[in-house]
């Protein structure tokens, strides 16, 4: 009597999880991860830096760094947080370098307004992304990390190297400026066509 072996398809995480496959060097698995997370990473970089061209570069740098660090990636749902932290660190590092260069080039600190509130958008449309991009850099970073990405004040303070009190003040400032900017572009609001 011969016993037939029962063949069962067993799901093994190392074969199913693209993070684990990419960690072992699978370019195809990494491409799956890129397609899944590139939009969120780009939006995060764009919100942090306020410049679409720089955001594109930072997105590419984020995934290049993720490929280099692929063996330390967190599998499953934790991957999104892992890659977003890479994007945050690269965005902040790039901004610090840019600020140092600007200080060397121009000894007089430039003070920009919050944006051109005199030019309403066609039809009074509200563009939150544009309003976020026009926030002063410190307020924009805190707003994005706290209100958009969901980090707590202590975490934001640690990421940005500032005090918790400063994050709270910057968040208050960002929210106030956004309210003013959005009120100015709403239909019937100040600066809107009558």
> CA gyration radius for the chain?
22
CA distance 44 to 161: 19
pLDDT of residue 15: 59
Q: What pLDDT does residue 193 have? A: 42
pLDDT surpassing 80 at residue 187: no
Q: State whether residue 77 is helix, strand or coil.
A: coil
What is the arithmetic mean of pLDDT over 176-189? 73
Mean pLDDT is lowest, of 72-81, 140-149, 152-161, for 72-81
Instruction: Tell me the pLDDT band of 118, cut-offs 50, 70 and 90.
Output: very low
Dump pLDDT digits (tens) for 126-142. Answer: 688 888 888 998 999 99
Convert the pLDDT of each residue in 99-114 to its tens digit. Answer: 665 555 544 444 444 4
pTM of the model: 0.64
Residue in the structure block whose two tokens are 């990390």:
145
Q: Which two tokens stand for residue 89?
A: 């660190």
Query: What tokens appear for 113 in the block?
Result: 């307004």
- Give the pLDDT score at 133: 87
Distance CA 59, CA 56 (A): 5
Alpha helices in 10-135, H assignment, sequence order: 13-16, 18-23, 27-49, 52-68, 78-105, 128-133
CA–CA distances in Å: residue 39 to residues 20, 42, 83, 153: 21, 5, 12, 25
pLDDT of residue 37: 95
90-100 pLDDT per residue, tens? 988 887 766 66
Lookup result for tokens 């410049």: 51
């Amino acid at each position: 009597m011969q016993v037939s072996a029962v063949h069962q398809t067993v799901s093994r995480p190392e074969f199913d999880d693209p993070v684990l496959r990419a960690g072992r060097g699978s370019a195809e698995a990494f491409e799956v991860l890129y397609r899944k997370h590139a939009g969120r990473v780009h939006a995060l970089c764009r919100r942090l830096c306020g410049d679409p061209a720089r955001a594109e570069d930072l997105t590419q740098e984020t995934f290049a760094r993720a490929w280099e660090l692929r063996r330390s990636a967190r599998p499953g749902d934790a991957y999104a947080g892992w890659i977003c932290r890479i994007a945050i660190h690269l965005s902040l590092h790039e901004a610090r370098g840019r600020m140092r260069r600007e200080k060397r080039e121009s000894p007089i600190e430039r003070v920009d307004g919050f944006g051109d509130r005199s030019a309403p958008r066609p039809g009074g449309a509200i563009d939150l992304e544009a309003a976020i991009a026009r926030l002063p850099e410190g307020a924009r970073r805190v707003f994005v990390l706290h209100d958009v990405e969901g980090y707590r004040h202590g975490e934001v303070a640690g990421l940005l190297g500032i005090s918790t009190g400063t994050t709270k003040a910057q968040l208050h400032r960002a929210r106030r400026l956004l309210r003013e900017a959005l009120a100015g572009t709403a239909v019937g609001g100040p600066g809107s066509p009558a």
